[in-house]
Amino acid sequence: MSGSTIIPWVVGNWKMNPMQANAQQLIQDLKQHLLQEVVSEHDCHIGIAPISIALLSVKTQLDDASVKIATVAQDVSRMAGTGAYTGEVSADLLVDSGIQFVLIGHSERREIFGDNPQILSDKIHYALNANMTIIYCVGESLEQRESGQAEQIVLQQICDIASVVKAEQWHNIIIAYEPIWAIGTGKTASPDDAQTMHAKIREGLNQITPEGNRIAILYGGSVKAENAVELAACADINGALVGGASLNATSFHQIALAFAKQNK
Ligand code: 13P
């Protein structure tokens, strides 16, 4: 069943980019674009996920934008509260600084930094306890897709968090489907393939929670201004998690507009 009543999210994941001066300019440019052509929060929510040391400066800069833009952390500690955990930032500390949104389970965290299901469950548990909204990323590798395992892998990643999320916390979960082979490669899943996987994810969510039809499922992987309209037209694609193209204010604005217009 389609989740078409869901307000989409378009979130820019800046990853380990850019230098400070460029970040400030990028936000200035985005704010300027939004002044010229508004993306109403009733049509599409927008978020920006900068590097951790820029979270507060970006948030300050975004706070006076003409439309509400969420500042999103790219990751969070698996430990809660405060304590002797060198290098870590807990969900409670993020919330204490006014950061309410966080990406968890990005494939780069899973593959390069060893974020396994247990670590991800801890992160999700504490982030939800701190009342954060989580963008939980799932997705299969090329090898897994080619061997016909894509759906099974992705649904397992959804099941991995089912026991951690309490019934009343599902409204704080957003899913991002990011096929690993489409990230940073210029290869986007075709709208049909993406929609097929999103429908499967929706089916899986509906088996776990009565909130299933209200959960936004974002697509990520080489989303650009050029393919955003087609992706936005798919019934179960409720937004985008954008890497490379979010580092260009014009492209990112166009992507947000594509989803906002589709939702009007
Ligand atoms: P690209 O848009 O650069 O492919 O990155 C996608 C991504 O990983 C967003 O989290």
For residue 103, the SS3 value is strand
Q: Which CATH architecture has domain 9-263?
A: Alpha-Beta Barrel (3.20)
Contact at 8 Å (CB) between 177 and 220?
yes
For residue 223, the SS3 value is coil
Distance CA 254, CA 74 (A): 23
**Model confidence over 92-151: pLDDT tens digits?**
999 999 999 999 999 999 999 999 999 999 999 999 999 999 999 999 999 999 999 999
What is the rounded average pLDDT of the residues 17-46? 97
**Model confidence over 155-179: pLDDT tens digits?**
999 999 999 999 999 999 999 999 9
Mean pLDDT, the chain, integer: 96
Q: Which of 124, 115, 74, 100 is nearest to 241 (CA)?
A: 74
Distance CA 158, CA 215 (A): 12
- At 188, list the tokens: 């986007």
Q: Across-strand partners of 217?
A: 175
83 Cα–ligand 1 center, Å: 33
Measured from the CB, is residue 12 less than 6 Å from ligand 1? no
Q: Give the model's confidence band at 1: pLDDT under 50 very low, under 70 low, under 90 confident, else very high.
A: very low
Q: Is the pLDDT of residue 187 over 90?
A: no
Q: Is the pLDDT of residue 2 over 70?
A: no
- At 62, list the tokens: 């975004």
Contact at 8 Å (CB) between 220 and 187?
no
Q: Give the model's confidence band at 4: pLDDT under 50 very low, under 70 low, under 90 confident, else very high.
A: low
Which residues have a catalytic role annotated?
Answer: 106, 178
Q: Which atom, in ligand 1's list, is nearest to the CA of 223?
A: 2
Measured from the CB, is residue 241 less than 6 Å from ligand 1? yes
* pLDDT at residue number 60: 97
Measured from the CB, is residue 242 less than 6 Å from ligand 1? yes
244 Cα–ligand 1 center, Å: 6
- List the chain domain ranges: 9-263
